[in-house]
């Protein structure tokens, strides 16, 4: 039986945060893809000690000629420091594995998560010396990935402006969604209900949304907002949230995971209004696809990569990142017919190209064979 490898050089998180969602959902999707395609999916992740044991079994028991490709992801810390202690216990382990793949002509695809380290005004750690060391490690890590990978997958093509990968080396793999559209809102109350799930630091643009809603709801409530955030973030940003806490149209929750289902079931649309800046212009929020998973249209800001998806797929209204523009967007999406049209588009594009399984199929096509060949094989 032919095999594929999913390799995460880090322990898996619980999936409650944006960065923790992708590895888990893709692992599930790769497993499903392998089952449908009569392949074996070999999962290698964990601490360096755990990976060492799994790699030892791989080298001993698997014929490299049976391995179709390896998919890998980096973390937001250099690969040598990915153990919980952040001490490089086995600094050559991952290098040796990538060399094994290259020696045996096994295509390697690496998802490169973010590039904070490219922006010195954003990337700051303990002190200047540590910051300089970390940036050097990130630089060396990226050059190593570039050497060994057949493809480097990015969340958006806009991100490549700063990495300058050749066209044949780069491919796009944004977040994906799951099919939960059966949880669409059934009871249509008099008021339209929005949902926002995520951070409440000012960079996420939530305070412009709250101001816009305050203006809209001044005389009577037109749009209610379900705001979901972490308890500790609410406390950290309490001085910013205080003016809105007693507003009757605002309901704050701290749910995550499957407990969000009930809240999404009450919503008519989602809000994803990142502040527009150099970094957010190539960001692709996981929450956009989580909203889509529940069949929700969106009001989004005009960050370049984000608005490209929203406009191309016609799944919502794009605003600028200011109160006046967001208020206009909220007024537009209050229109029932327009919102229903967006909703139909959301469901169509979710099923046709934005499920996590579709991301895996795309990765397969990039690393192994063209889509036409893959489709012919499925028909046999």
Tokens of 376: 């012919």
Residue 372 has pLDDT above 60, yes or no: no
pLDDT in tens, 1-40: 999 999 999 999 876 666 788 999 999 999 999 999 999 9
125 falls in which pLDDT band (50, 70, 90)?
confident
Phi first, then psi: what are they for 298, rounded to 5°? Answer: -135, 155
CA distance 158 to 291: 22
pLDDT in tens, 251-309: 999 998 888 999 999 999 999 999 999 999 999 999 999 999 999 999 999 999 999 99
Q: In which region does residue 212 sit, left (phi positive, over 0), alpha (psi from -120 to 50) or beta (all else)? A: alpha
Is the pTM higher than 0.75? The answer reads yes
CA distance 50 to 45: 7
> Residue 17 has what pLDDT?
62
Which of helix, strand or coil describes residue 6? Answer: strand
What crossing angle do the helices spanning 323-333 and 336-349 adopt, rounded to 10°?
A: 90
218 Cβ contact list (under 8 Å, min separation 6):
none
What is the CA 123 to chain-centroid distance, rounded?
Answer: 20
Percent of the chain past pLDDT 90, that is, above it, reads 86
Provide the 10 A C-beta neighbour count for residue 106.
Answer: 21
Tokens of 135: 């940036």
Mean predicted lDDT score pLDDT of the chain = 92
Residue 57 has pLDDT above 70, yes or no: yes
198 Cβ contact list (under 8 Å, min separation 6):
18, 204, 206, 228, 229, 272, 285, 287
Question: Which DSSP string do the residues of 160-172 spell out, in sequence order?
Answer: HHHH---TTTEEE
CA distance 33 to 42: 12
- Is-contact 54 8, C-beta < 8 A? no
Instruction: List the domains of the chain with CATH numbers.
Output: 3-176+355-379 (3.40.50.2000), 181-354 (3.40.50.2000)
Residue 378 has pLDDT above 60, yes or no: no
Residue 379 has pLDDT above 50, yes or no: no
> Residue 123 has what pLDDT?
79
Beta bridge partners of 318: 300
185 falls in which pLDDT band (50, 70, 90)?
low
184 falls in which pLDDT band (50, 70, 90)?
low
Give the position of tokens 């060949």. 373
- Is-contact 215 327, C-beta < 8 A? yes
CA distance 35 to 57: 22
Residue 365 has pLDDT above 80, yes or no: yes
pLDDT in tens, 148-171: 999 999 999 999 999 999 999 999
> Residue 371 has what pLDDT?
46
Q: How far is CA 136 from CA 14, 131, 133, 144, 166, in A?
A: 30, 9, 5, 12, 22
Q: In which region does residue 335 sit, left (phi positive, over 0), alpha (psi from -120 to 50) or beta (all else)? A: beta
Residue 375 has pLDDT above 60, yes or no: no
- Is-contact 25 176, C-beta < 8 A? yes
CA distance 299 to 314: 11
> Residue 370 has what pLDDT?
59
pLDDT in tens, 317-360: 999 999 999 999 999 999 999 999 999 999 999 999 999 999 99
> Residue 273 has what pLDDT?
95
- Is-contact 227 234, C-beta < 8 A? no
Cα-trace Rg, the chain: 22
Provide the 10 A C-beta neighbour count for residue 264.
Answer: 22
Tokens of 330: 């909220």
Residue 60 has pLDDT above 60, yes or no: yes
């Amino acid at each position: 039986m032919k095999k594929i490898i999913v390799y995460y050089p880090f322990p898996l998180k619980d999936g409650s945060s944006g960065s923790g969602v992708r590895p888990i959902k893709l692992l599930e999707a790769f497993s499903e893809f392998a089952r449908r395609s009569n392949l074996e999916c070999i999962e290698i992740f964990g601490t360096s000690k755990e990976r060492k044991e799994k790699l030892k079994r791989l080298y001993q028991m698997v014929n490299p000629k049976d391995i179709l490709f390896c998919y890998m992801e980096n973390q937001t810390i250099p690969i040598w420091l990915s153990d919980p202690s952040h001490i490089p216990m086995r600094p050559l382990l991952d290098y040796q594995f990538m060399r094994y793949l290259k020696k045996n002509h096994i295509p390697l695809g690496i998802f490169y998560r973010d590039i904070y380290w490219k922006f010195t005004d954003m990337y700051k750690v303990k002190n200047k010396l540590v910051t300089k060391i970390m940036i050097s490690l990130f630089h060396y890590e990226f050059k190593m990935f570039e050497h060994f990978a057949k493809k480097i997958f990015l969340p958006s093509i806009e991100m490549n402006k700063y990495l300058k990968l050749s066209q044949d080396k780069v491919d796009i793999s944004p977040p994906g969604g799951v099919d939960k559209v059966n949880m669409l809102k059934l009871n249509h109350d008099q008021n339209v209900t929005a949902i926002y799930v995520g951070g409440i630091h000012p960079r996420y643009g939530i305070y412009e949304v709250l101001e816009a809603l305050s203006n809209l709801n001044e005389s009577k409530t037109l749009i209610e907002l379900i705001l979901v955030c972490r308890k500790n973030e609410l406390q950290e940003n309490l001085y910013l949230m205080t003016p809105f806490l007693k507003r009757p149209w605002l309901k704050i929750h701290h749910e995550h995971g499957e407990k969000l289902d009930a809240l999404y079931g009450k919503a008519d649309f989602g809000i994803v209004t990142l502040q527009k800046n150099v970094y957010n212009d190539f960001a692709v929020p996981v929450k956009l696809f989580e909203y889509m998973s529940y069949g929700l249209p969106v009001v989004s800001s005009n960050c370049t990569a984000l608005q490209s998806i929203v406009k191309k797929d016609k799944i919502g209204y794009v605003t600028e990142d200011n109160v006046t523009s967001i208020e206009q967007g909220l007024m537009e999406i209050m229109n029932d017919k327009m919102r229903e049209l967006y909703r139909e588009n959301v469901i169509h594009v979710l099923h046709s190209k934005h499920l996590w399984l579709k991301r895996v199929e795309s990765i397969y096509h990039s690393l192994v064979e063209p889509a036409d060949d893959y489709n012919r094989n499925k028909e046999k």
